[in-house]
Amino acid sequence: MSLSPDEKAKTPEMFLSLKTKSPFKNSVGLGAIKSSLEHVSKYMNISDALKLSLKINQKGGFDCPGCAWPDPDDERSSLGEYCENGVKAIAEEAQNKTINRDFFEKHSVDELSAISDFEIGKSGRLAEPMFLAEGASHYQPITWEAAFEKVGEHLNALNNPDEAVFYTSGRTTNEAAFLYQLFVREFGTSNLPDCSNMCHEASGSALSETLGIGKGSVTLDDLYKAEVVIVIGQNPGTNHPRMLTALEKCKNNGGKIIAINPLPEAGLIKFTNPQNPFKLLSGGTQIADVFVPITINGDVAFFKALLLKLLEKEEESGNVFDKAFIEEFTHGYQEFTTNLKTYSFEACLEASGVSIEIFNEVFKLILNNEKLIICWAMGLTQHQNAVDNIREIVNLLLLKGSIGKEGAGTCPVRGHSNVQGDRTVGIWESAPQAFLDKIEAKYGFKPSTKHGYSVIDAIKAMYEKKAKVFFGLGGNFISAVPDTKYSAQALANCNLTVHVSTKLNRSHLVTGREALILPCLGRTEKDYQKTGVQVQSVENSMGIVSSTKGILEPCSDNLLSEVAVVCGIANATLKERSKINWLQYKDDYNLVRDDIQEVVDGFQDYNNRLKQPSGFYLPNGARIRQFKTKTGKANFSINKLPAWKLKKDELIMMTIRSHDQFNTTIYGLDDRYRGVFNERRVIFMNKEDMNLQHLSEHQVVNLKSEYNGVVREAKNFKVVGYDIPKNCCATYFPETNVLVPLDSFAHTAKTPASKSVIITVESVK
């Protein structure tokens, strides 16, 4: 019997054997070194591991395929700029096991669907292109040429280019991403949804509107020089461990750190630098000077409380705000303060869930310092009012003149290692007209000016059969997107689903009528082409473009680079009607960069500047107080408090990452810092809420969310009592994506609201 798309899309709902301990207060240190060594020795061959560890994030080495945190411009550790989770990301990619036709002959799609994401990931690297014919139970091998022709036939059979969806995950390099969007635009659509739509899209929207650039404004050097750094809605100990080194440096220079988070995450509290033997022995640095245990989505309320008190002080003393900055560089101050005064301090503070004592500590630090940096990630961007969250923190920076000066500014901490670069080079469903005009001028075709589908629109279109081909350049769409059941049906409605991937994942199992898996080289591998081993480039979270070059031999002879795949598909699809000689690019990536420099601002002399050991910075208006907004100034904004109200027994749930995963890739089954071992189907709850609902430790529960009349359910979770504010709870992504409604997303940005899902918990007898 064949499984339904919905059944294939979900991780099996069974238990392992949960063990819990007290959560850690300290992060990294010896435990991290031990954990990464264990991981490497299990999955990699040791000489490869050594080679890689010396080259990771080194000048002239390869860019870690983990997060987008920048590398220091000057000194870098001789051990490689690595972290525990970077090592795991590499071990995951540079595995010594491969899977080919024998594996797929042995295992049907249904059989593979019944195993966990953890086991799927451990099956090995994809080694040859595979094809799933209509009605077939097993994938079978296909040649690259036949695969390209198949994609071309399907695309050319559509009534309209807008019936195809071209997704990108943020590991794709600048070169592959630029060519991909160029192909999609020449094919005739702007349907370029990407993982950024589910990630920092809200930051991009809010920052473009207020500061005129959708990226952050600070450099690492600014972080070292800041007087106060606020780390809000972010868990750097797990997701950006190298950021802790920068925070430690800031503290050593006298800076103060405020952490605002519903959870006392280990990295926020204490950090032991693995590259500092003295600190390993002495027990590490206390990171947060003030920890603010905020209620989920209480951030706008907390910032309003803060802004109100600052305004009050400013009106008393006249020396709190940077009036010269406000006068010269901003717009909307009057309207902003008039609106702010309509809120009550007490009501805001209460809505934030923060005590007056902790509030006062934060207030003092903000009042008395002028160089502020705010760092944030998914805790702010994945809410219905995500754009408001970010605009409100910008309001604070503007009042203090904390933008475009040393030691001050915005720091949205990006996720995937090149998600920022992909957007810069044109992966954008609503690219600016100026960019489209440059494409037209250079290539002689007119790109579609219609806004394309973002992730949420794409899912709806596929569900409604308005889109019929899904193409994914990297990523794991079905496990990353919200509303798993609906989204699985959306993919199943397609004529063809295609994934360019390094590893097997659940998206290869939830297919359209026909499906292709196209295996590609990873970051760590040498990319051999006609003109030699190719260099590629990426942009990190702080707008620095640098080169990346693999150093291992490819794990199979039958892999292509992403660039070669894109060229092959473009050539097979567009044939004579193309104005572009597609096949030239794959032989020599310098040609791609020559094109990028003509089309994208800031890339002049790209090939030469890429040879600089630390890469080069892209221009950044906010960094130099040139605000390219509609008003030509930095804009204050007016933001409302979120309107949701919990009914009795309802909880607000955030879906977060454990310490042992990279998004949908599950490295292991532990969440060491939070004291959870060998289980992912857990729900972290406040002990008072557990008592009120008569739930005990490790009790088995089902979770339900009801939104706009639709009930969604996730079965079999174990309750873990945790230090989390009342009425709040947390579960791991992607297991609970089934509960995230597709129509609950951030206004303006359409980021799925996967950090504020209202649920109820039912015990299973």
**Shortest Å, Cβ 382 to ligand MGD:** 6
Q: Is 70 helix (H, G, I), strand (E, B) or coil?
A: coil
The nearest distance, CB 236 to ligand MGD, in angstroms, is 7
Q: What is the DSSP string of 304-322?
A: HHHHHHHHHHHHHHS-SS-
Instruction: Convert residues 505-524 into a mask of x (bound to ligand MGD by CB under 6 A) and - (unbound).
Output: x--------------x-xx-
Among 126, 199, 455, 509, binds Mo ion (CB under 5 A): 199
Residue 322's binding partner among Mo ion, ligand MGD, none (Cβ under 5 to 8 angstroms by kind) is: none
Regarding 415 and contact with Mo ion (CB under 5 A), the answer is: yes
Give CA torsion, residues 258, 261, 267, 270, to 10 deg: 50
Least separation in angstroms between CB 170 and Mo ion:
7
8 Å CB contact between 295 and 262: yes
751 binds ligand MGD per the rule CB under 6 A: no
> Rounded to whole angstroms, how far apart are CA atoms 726 and 205?
31
Q: What is the 3-state secondary structure (H, E, C) of 606-675?
A: HHHHCCCCCCEECCCCHHHCCCCCCCCCEECCCCCCCCCCCCCCCEEEEEECCCCEECCEECCCCEHHHC
Task: Please give the Cα distance from 326 to 337 (Å, whole number).
Answer: 12
CB closer to ligand MGD out of 113 and 502: 502
Residue with Cβ nearer ligand MGD (386 or 436) = 386
Angle made by CA atoms 307, 309, 313, in degrees to the nearest 5: 115
Q: How far is the CB of 166 from ligand MGD (least distance, A)?
A: 13
Residue 654 touches which of Mo ion, ligand MGD, none (Cβ within 5-8 Å per kind):
ligand MGD
Question: Binding residue for ligand MGD (CB under 6 A) from 500, 592, 685, 720?
Answer: 500
CB of 665 to ligand MGD, least distance (A): 5
* Residue 651 neighbours by CB under 8 Å, 6+ apart: 685, 689, 727, 728, 729, 758, 759, 760, 761
Count of residues that interact with ligand MGD, criterion CB under 6 A: 60
| Residue 762 φ/ψ, nearest 5 degrees | -120, 130
| Per-residue contact flags (x/-) with ligand MGD for residues 371 to 390, judged by CB under 6 A | ------xxx--x--------
Q: Give dist(CA 567, CA 585) in Å, integer.
A: 7
Least distance to ligand MGD from the beta carbon of 626, Å? 28
Residues 526-585 that bind ligand MGD (CB under 6 A): 562
Give CB contacts under 8 A, 24+ apart, made by 510-513.
510/5, 510/8, 510/9, 510/478, 511/109, 511/132, 512/468, 512/469, 512/470, 513/134
- Partner that binds at residue 662, options Mo ion, ligand MGD, none, CB closer than 5 to 8 Å by kind: ligand MGD
The nearest distance, CB 66 to ligand MGD, in angstroms, is 6
**Which are the contacts of 695, defined by CB distance < 8 A and separation ≥ 6?**
685, 689, 701, 719, 761, 763
Q: For ligand MGD, which residue of 225, 371, 503, 718 counts as binding (CB under 6 A)?
A: 503
Question: Minimum distance between the CB of residue 638 and ligand MGD, rounded to whole angstroms?
Answer: 20
| Residue 251 to residue 255: CA distance in whole angstroms | 5
User: Least distance in Å: CB of 378 to Mo ion?
Assistant: 7
Between 203 and 273, name the residue whose CB sits nearer to ligand MGD: 203
* Closer residue to Mo ion in complex, CB, 413/580: 413
Query: Which residue carries 């020559």 as its tokens?
Result: 594
Q: Report the partner that residue 63 touches, choosing among Mo ion, ligand MGD, none (CB closer than 5 to 8 A by kind).
A: none
For residue 562, the partner it binds in Mo ion, ligand MGD, none, with Cβ less than 5 to 8 A by kind, is ligand MGD
| Cα–Cα dist 46/2, whole Å | 41
* Site size for Mo ion (CB under 5 A): 2
Q: C-beta of 435: minimal distance to ligand MGD in Å?
A: 23
Q: Which residue is nearest to Mo ion (CB)?
A: 415
171 belongs to the binding site for ligand MGD (CB under 6 A) = yes
- Distance separating alpha carbons of residues 672 and 266, to the nearest angstrom: 10
Which listed range, 60-68, 199-207, 242-250, 560-568, lies at the site for Mo ion (CB under 5 A)? 199-207
Rounded-to-integer distance, Cα 759 and Cα 739, Å: 8
Task: Give the Å distances, CA to CA, from 599 to 425, 441, 443, 583, 596.
Answer: 8, 9, 10, 20, 5
Rule CB under 6 A: is residue 299 a binding residue for ligand MGD?
A: yes
Rounded-to-integer distance, Cα 488 and Cα 729, Å: 26
The C-alpha atoms of residue 598 and residue 175 are separated, in whole angstroms, by 14
Question: Which of 63, 322 has the CB closer to ligand MGD?
Answer: 63
CA 247 to CA 245: how far, in whole Å?
5
Write out the residues near Mo ion by the rule CB under 5 A: 199, 415
Write out the residues near ligand MGD by the rule CB under 6 A: 65-67, 85, 169, 171, 195, 198-199, 232-235, 238-240, 260-263, 265, 294, 296-297, 299, 377-379, 382, 415-416, 473-477, 480, 500-503, 505, 520, 522-523, 562, 654-657, 661-665, 733, 737, 740, 754-755
